[in-house]
């Protein structure tokens, strides 16, 4: 399975994908929960065990929610994958067969006497590299053509489905990380040095998270970074298996 590269190809994919699945936004939930940010600050400032319990009471159910949502979202993309045609199967078989022949030729000339056949060996390797580059260009062209033809039968190619799935879940995971960092004060730069200072300088009725879409700077406090990483693993530890399942389904549907 070949993943398309470049901004032009990504834009073409977005235009040709019919009935693109929509991932659910959690921003309204984040804003609602943030009304209780004072409670989180108080617990962390006064009782660490209670604070850790609050963190766990959030990450456990939210993991189940994301797991169900990502699984359903991946299934929606998999349903859009078009079945590989007989022509595509023949191209794939021909390509890999030719690659095996080229490897065999190179290995034969590589093991001959270097003094007598060095020039021939280098020539074969040069031709092999050029041939491989030509094949790569041909396959990339085929990928682009298939992307443009995907709309004809209401389906998409496997690499488009996988790419679309990745493009949508990564921002969701980034939003969740920013929310956890801000809501549970897992930041090297907390909004206040103590709960008292936080209560004095903020209005409970207007507490909202900052722009969760912003790109965060790396945490300078190593212990904070580790705590944030551990909680992200607790929430999204299932994603690796989900991606592998998607890759397996994609390569079965389209070996190219």
DSSP string, 61-124: HHHHHHHHHHHHHHHHHHHTBPPPPHHHHHHHHHHHHHHHHHHHHHHHHHTS-HHHHHHHHHHH
Domain finish residue from 151, 168, 201? 151
Statement to judge: residues 11 and 132 lie in one domain: no
Instruction: Write down the pLDDT at residue 251.
Output: 85
pLDDT surpassing 90 at residue 242: yes
Domain for residue 244, yes or no? no
Domain for residue 176, yes or no? yes
Instruction: Write down the pLDDT at residue 223.
Output: 92
Instruction: Write down the pLDDT at residue 3.
Output: 40
Q: State which of 74-83, 95-104, 199-208 shows the largest mean pLDDT.
A: 74-83
pLDDT surpassing 50 at residue 9: no
Residue 17 has φ and ψ, to the nearest 5°, of -80, 115
Instruction: Write down the pLDDT at residue 150.
Output: 45
Q: Helix 114-149 and helix 7-16: axis angle, to 10°?
A: 40
If you search the block for the tokens 């050029």, which residue do you land on? 130
Statement to judge: residues 103 and 193 lie in one domain: no
Q: Are 231 and 183 in contact (CB under 8 A)?
A: no
Domain for residue 104, yes or no? yes
Instruction: Write down the pLDDT at residue 198.
Output: 77
Q: Which of 46-55, 112-121, 228-237 has the lowest mean pLDDT?
A: 112-121
Statement to judge: residues 95 and 203 lie in one domain: no
Q: Are 40 and 54 in contact (CB under 8 A)?
A: yes
Statement to judge: residues 15 and 141 lie in one domain: no
Threshold 0.75, pTM exceeds: no
pLDDT surpassing 80 at residue 157: yes
Number of independent structural domains in the chain: 2
* Spatial distance between the Cα atoms of 254 and 157, rounded to a whole number of angstroms: 8
Q: Quickly state the pLDDT bin for 118 (edges 50, 70, 90).
A: low
Rounded mean pLDDT, 51-67: 96
Domain for residue 203, yes or no? yes
Q: Quickly state the pLDDT bin for 153 (edges 50, 70, 90).
A: low
Spatial CA neighbour of 59 closest among 214, 51, 39:
51
Instruction: Write down the pLDDT at residue 214.
Output: 82
Statement to judge: residues 19 and 63 lie in one domain: yes
Range of the domain at 199: 7-82+154-211
Instruction: Write down the pLDDT at residue 141.
Output: 56
pLDDT surpassing 50 at residue 184: yes
Instruction: Write down the pLDDT at residue 159.
Output: 87
Instruction: Write down the pLDDT at residue 5.
Output: 44
Statement to judge: residues 76 and 162 lie in one domain: yes
Q: Which residues in 20-30 are b (16+ Cβ under 10 Å) and which e?
A: bbebeebeeeb
pLDDT surpassing 70 at residue 123: no
Domain finish residue from 151, 181, 203? 151
């Amino acid at each position: 399975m070949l993943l398309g590269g470049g901004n032009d190809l990504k834009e073409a994919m977005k235009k040709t994908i019919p009935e693109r699945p929509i991932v659910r936004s959690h921003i309204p939930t984040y804003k609602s929960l943030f009304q209780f940010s004072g409670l989180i600050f108080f617990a962390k400032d006064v009782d660490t065990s209670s604070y850790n319990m609050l963190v766990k009471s959030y990450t456990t159910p939210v993991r189940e929610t994301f797991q169900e949502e990502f699984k359903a979202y991946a299934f929606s993309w998999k349903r859009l994958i078009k079945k590989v045609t007989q022509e595509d199967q023949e191209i794939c078989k021909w390509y890999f067969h030719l690659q095996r022949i080229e490897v065999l030729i190179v290995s034969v000339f590589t093991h001959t006497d270097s003094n007598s056949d060095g020039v021939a060996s280098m020539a074969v390797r040069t031709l092999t590299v050029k041939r491989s580059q030509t094949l790569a260009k041909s396959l990339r062209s085929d990928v682009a053509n298939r992307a443009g033809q995907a709309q004809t039968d209401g389906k998409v190619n496997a690499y488009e489905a996988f790419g679309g799935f990745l493009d949508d879940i990564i921002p969701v995971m980034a939003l969740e990380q920013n929310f956890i960092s801000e809501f549970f004060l897992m930041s090297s730069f907390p909004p206040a040095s103590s709960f008292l200072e936080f209560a004095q300088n903020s209005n409970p009725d207007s507490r909202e998270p900052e722009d969760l879409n912003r790109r965060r700077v790396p945490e300078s406090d190593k212990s904070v970074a580790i705590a944030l990483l551990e909680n992200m693993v607790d929430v999204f530890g299932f994603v690796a298996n989900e991606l592998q399942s998607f890759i397996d389904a994609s390569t079965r549907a389209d070996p190219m």
